[in-house]
Amino acid sequence: MKKRSLHKGIAWALVVLWMGVIFYLSHQPGGESSALSSGIVGFLVQVLTGIMPFISFDMEVLHFFVRKFAHFSAYFLLGVLTIYAVHIDRSPKKRTVLLSFFLTVSYAVSDELHQLFIPGRSGEVRDVLIDSLGSAVGMGLYITVRFFVNKGRASL
């Protein structure tokens, strides 16, 4: 029983830690956040140009997609971590998914509201939708992997 409790505590600590990372990144002023994205875009363009020198890239479009992919991937991981932490409590499957999705979407909404108070940042419904999609895909992947792992165990 103690081992399960420790496992659950670690799982929830990872959820809270990742929420803290998201909060930290969201708390950066617009210029700082944009500089981080621009650095990633610059690196991507360098790599892609090295692989495909014949293609030119629209930096503005690439910058937009990098920023939106950051939202998607951050909440993808939050979705995986959250459904895992909720799943440890052995909640019924439907309830596990609904609770996990509610928690991640609520955090996405609070994150966008938080950004309204950060200079140079804005809160956008579109970002909540991207965050929610990332979370749903992460949870879907978790459920799929668990299904196949459990199916493999059952056949042993």
Binned at pLDDT 50, 70 and 90, residue 156 comes out as very low
Average pLDDT in the 71-97 region?
Answer: 89
pLDDT at 155 over 60: no
The pLDDT value recorded for residue 80 is 97
Per-residue pLDDT reduced to its tens digit, 26-60: 998 877 877 777 788 788 778 888 888 888 877 88
Backbone angles phi, psi at 71, to 5 degrees: -60, -50
Comparing 103 with 33, which gets the higher pLDDT?
103
For the entire predicted model, the pTM comes to 0.86
> What is the 3 state secondary structure string of 35-83?
HHHHHHHHHHHHHHHHHCCCCCCCHHHHHHHHHHHHHHHHHHHHHHHHH
Q: What average pLDDT does the chain have? A: 88
Ordered DSSP codes for 69-124: HHHHHHHHHHHHHHHHHHHHTT--HHHHHHHHHHHHHHHHHHHHHHHTTSTT----
% pLDDT > 70, the chain? 94
| 118 burial level (CB within 10 Å; 0-12, 13-18, 19+) | middle
Please choose, from the candidates 109, 130, 103, the residue with its C-alpha nearest in 3D space to the C-alpha of residue 11.
Answer: 103
DSSP 28: S
Average pLDDT in the 10-32 region?
Answer: 92
Per-residue pLDDT reduced to its tens digit, 118-147: 998 889 999 999 999 999 999 999 999 988
Average pLDDT in the 60-81 region?
Answer: 91
